[in-house]
Structure 1
C-alpha cells in the first residue's frame, strides 16, 4: 500500500472546486493534473489487479490514470453528454468495465476503457425531483456469475442485467413491498411517501453469500437473495444512532467483513463508519476515534489490503487508516473544495 489518498469533490457552491484532490506522504493536498476544476468527481475506482490504473467517473466524463494518479486523461466514451456517476471493473474479466450515468444509463467496455458501447434498456423517471434526472450511483457484479449484474439509482431504485451488462431492466417489486410498510415510508423531495426506499446510494455483493444483494439507501441497508423480488431489513438502527446510508463495501480477502457509513440525512452535522464481521447481522462503530461534523458521503477500501480505508464527509473532513481501524488520521480539504463525495486509498 502506497498510502496515497484520493478524494473527489463536486461544484456545490459558487467558485467551489469540484475535482480530484490527492494526499501523499508530505501531508499536503494537491489537485490532480488533468482533471478540470469543475468536473465534479462522483466515483474513484482503482483497478483491482493493475495497481497503477485508476478510473474516475465525473459529471464531465470518464478519466483514467495509468501511473498511479500522477497524470490523468479523459476517456472518449460517446458523442453524447451524459454525466458519469459510477464505474466498476468486472471481478471475472479485468478488461470489462461498466459505467453508469445521469440520467440513468449504462456504457460497457470490453477492452479496459479503450472503446465503449451504450447498453440497452428503458429507464423512466419514477419521481419528479427538483435536481433533474436520477443517477446511476453504483454497479456490482454477481461474484460467481459473470452474466448477472446489479445497479442502483438515486432516486430510482434497483436495476438488473442478466447478459453481462449489455441490457438492463428495473426491478421494483421488492422495494415497493418495503415502501408499503408504515415504518419505511419517507419523503424529502416529492409528495410520494414511497420515495425513501427508492433513494438508492450503493449496492454490494460478496463471495461469502453469492446470491445476496446488499441494497444501500436512505432508509438503511437491505438484503435480497432473489434478485430484488423481496428484501429483508438488516435493521442497522439497532446498532447505530442513525441509519441514513451512503456507501457499503466488503473488505479484500475477508468476504464476511463489510463497512458502511451512516448519517442523519444527506445534509447533517454527524456521521460515522460502522463495521460488520458477519454479513451485516451485527454492527460496531469502526471510527470511534474521530468526530465527523457533517454527513459521511462515502469511503474507499484498498483493493488488495484489508487494513486500508479512507472516509469523506460532505464538508471536507477526510479520515484514513492503514491498520484496520486501530488508529485514524484526519486531514481537512482546502477551504475552496466543494462537497466531498468519494474517496480511495492506493
Structure 2
C-alpha cells in the first residue's frame, strides 16, 4: 500500500457505500444488456444513461479518484465522474468498435488502456478525455464462430510503466514493452503447455490446443512484480519471464472444477488473490476461491452460497480489502463486506441479460 493509498484508506475508515454495479450482455432475445445498480438494501435499477443493448463487459473504478468509474461496452466506453449517478459516452473510437476491457495505470492516474474486439488497444493520457489507437497484431489464431477474438483484460507491470500484458479470448497472451503503444503476441510458453496431453482441449474448433489460448484475465502484483498470472479455460498459470515459460498452479487440487474467468489481487494485501472457477462457459455451478500465498494453495471463499450457473466475473473494492462482489451468468449477485466471512445474495431482474462483471464501491 502506498502512502497516498494509506492516507485515503484511513481517512474514510475503509468504508464502502455498498453500491453494487453489475454489467449484463444481450445474450438472448429481449434481454437487457446494460448496467444495473443497487445501493444499500435497495432494489436493482437499470441505469438509464447506458443503452439497453450496450452489453457491459467490464466495470473499472478508478483506483485513486473515488467518484470516477469506467465501463467497457460493445457500444463503446463510458465514464462516470459522480460515483455512478450519471454516465457519459467517451469519444474513444469510431462507432461500432466493441470494447471488452479498460484499465487505469497504477503509475499515472491519467493513463488508461482499453481493449477491443477484434484484438486492438486504445490509450488515453488525460483520464479518458481523448484516445488514440495503438499498434497491435490483429491476426486470429483460430477460426471461431463468434467473430474476432476479444482483448479481455489488460495488466500493468507493478514497477515498470512501459511493460504491459493483455489476454484475448481464443488468442492467448499479448505483451507491450512501450507503455501500450504497440503490442505483440507471445505464444511460446502457452504452446508448450497446449502440447501437454492433460491440457489439450477443444470446444469451438477442431484444434486441441485451443483451451490454453482461451484466455479470460491476467493479473500482476507488487509482491512478485515480474510474475504474470494467466487465467484461461484450463486454469491459472504463472510466468516470471514474460510468457516464454509457464507453470501450472494446479488449482484442480483444491477446487472441484478449474474453468477460470477472473483473478484479482486484494487492495493492501499483495499476496492475497481471489479467482472464480466453474465447470465451463455455460454450466450449473461456480465458486469463488481465495489464496493467501500467491496461488500456491487455495480455499473456498464463499462456501455459504450456491451458484446455479457459471461464475463469470467478480470485483474487489479499490480501497477496502473486505469488499468483494461476484456475478453468475444466470444473474445471481453475491456480495461480502467483511472479507468473505458472510455473503448476501441479490438476484438481478428476470429481464437482465447474462451477468459478466461487477463492482462494489
Match of 2:345 in 1: 330
Contact 1:32 1:69 in 2 (8 A): no
- Cα distance in structure 2, aligned partners of 1:273 and 1:333: 19
Q: Tell me how far 1:62 sits from its aligned partner.
A: 0.2
- Cα distance in structure 2, aligned partners of 1:342 and 1:80: 23
Match of 1:253 in 2: 268
- Equivalent position SS for 1:216: strand
Contact 1:5 1:23 in 2 (8 A): yes
- In the TM superposition, 1:78-97 aligns within 5 A as 78-97=93-112
Contact 1:234 1:281 in 2 (8 A): yes
Q: Tell me how far 1:33 sits from its aligned partner.
A: 2.8
Q: How many residues were matched structurally?
A: 346
Match of 1:39 in 2: 54
Match of 1:161 in 2: 176
Q: Confirm whether residue 268 of structure 1 aligns to residue 266 of structure 2.
A: no
Q: Tell me how far 1:80 sits from its aligned partner.
A: 4.9
Structure 1 gaps of 5+ residues are: none
Contact 1:123 1:170 in 2 (8 A): no
Structure 2 gaps of 5+ residues are: 1-15
- In the TM superposition, 1:5-84 aligns within 5 A as 5-84=20-99
Match of 1:343 in 2: 358
Q: Tell me how far 1:265 sits from its aligned partner.
A: 0.2
Q: Tell me how far 1:82 sits from its aligned partner.
A: 1.3
- In the TM superposition, 1:159-238 aligns within 5 A as 159-238=174-253
Q: Tell me how far 1:32 sits from its aligned partner.
A: 1.2
Q: Tell me how far 1:4 sits from its aligned partner.
A: 0.3
Residues 235-281 of structure 1: CA deviation (Å, up to 9, x unaligned): 00000000000000000000000000000000000000000000000
Structure-1-length-normalised TM-score:
0.99
Q: Confirm whether residue 283 of structure 1 aligns to residue 298 of structure 2.
A: yes
- Cα distance in structure 2, aligned partners of 1:100 and 1:61: 11
- Cα distance in structure 1, aligned partners of 2:136 and 2:113: 14
What is the RMSD computed on CA atoms of the aligned residues? 0.6
Match of 1:127 in 2: 142
Q: Tell me how far 1:121 sits from its aligned partner.
A: 1.9
Match of 2:309 in 1: 294
Instruction: List, as ranges, runs of 4+ consecutive aligned residues in structure 1 with deviation greater than 6 Å.
Output: none
Match of 2:332 in 1: 317
Match of 2:122 in 1: 107
